[in-house]
Amino acid sequence: MWLCGQYFNGEITDRIQKTIESEPEISRRALSRQVCKWLGWRSANGKLKEMSCRKALQALHRRGKITLPEQKKNYSFQRSKTGTNQDLPQAAEICCNLKQLGKVEIAPIASRYSKASRQWNQLLDSYHYLGNGPLCGAQIRYLVHSEVYGFLGGLSFSASTWRLKARDEFIGWSERARRQNL
């Protein structure tokens, strides 16, 4: 199966599971580095694609293909999950082309106190490898919904993405061009 741009067959998932079983103290981070090395999974700059690998490992775990080791640390951005989830969405796990999705709506979330905000938080808690950790500064969030498959996911943009010196230099934006385009 394809996950995060990488193909995971039965041989590699068996190897991952055997590693988890033979090294019970292995962290998810160390496991992701090891898997990246096995697969030669590197970004254009030559660094291991650890975050993509962790996301793929989490997806394999959710689908019952592997059993990940327990997380070793609790980070401050990980909040306790309280409250009821009965009215919150289940995201569809699909593989199709855009035409098969039917009408897709990308709806902005108007208030952090709204049902849409709770839905966005639940989707990220359930499907994102870091959960719904806090966004920095000014932010906007969106829910993505297909008329055929239901909720597909959520998007977010926060203040830190508005001004990136390296990006602006790379694409040749002046201060004026950045303001016009963002």
- Kindly indicate the confidence band of residue 76, based on its pLDDT and cuts at 50, 70 and 90: very low
pLDDT at 83: 47
pTM confidence score: 0.45
**Is the four-CA dihedral 17, 74, 134, 50 of positive or negative sign?**
negative
pLDDT at 132: 77
Does 172 have pLDDT greater than 80?
yes
pLDDT at 84: 47
Does 129 have pLDDT greater than 80?
no
Question: How much of the chain, in percent, has pLDDT values that exceed 90?
Answer: 36
Please spell the DSSP secondary structure of 98-161, one letter per residue: GGGG-SEEEEE---TTSHHHHHHHHHHHHHSTTTT-PPPSSEEEEEEEETTTEEEEEEEEEGGG
Cβ contact 42:49 at 8 Å? yes
Does 16 have pLDDT greater than 50?
yes
Does 104 have pLDDT greater than 80?
yes
- Kindly indicate the confidence band of residue 77, based on its pLDDT and cuts at 50, 70 and 90: very low
- Kindly indicate the confidence band of residue 33, based on its pLDDT and cuts at 50, 70 and 90: very high
pLDDT at 167: 79
Residues 6+ apart with CB under 8 A from 150: 89, 90, 91, 92
Contacts 24+ apart (CB under 8 A), 77-84: 77/130, 77/131, 77/133, 77/134, 78/130, 78/131, 78/133, 79/131, 79/132, 81/125, 83/118
Determine the Cα–Cα distance for residues 128 and 55; give it in Å rounded to an integer. 7
pLDDT at 80: 47
Please count the other Cβ atoms lying within 10 Å of the Cβ belonging to residue 82: 5
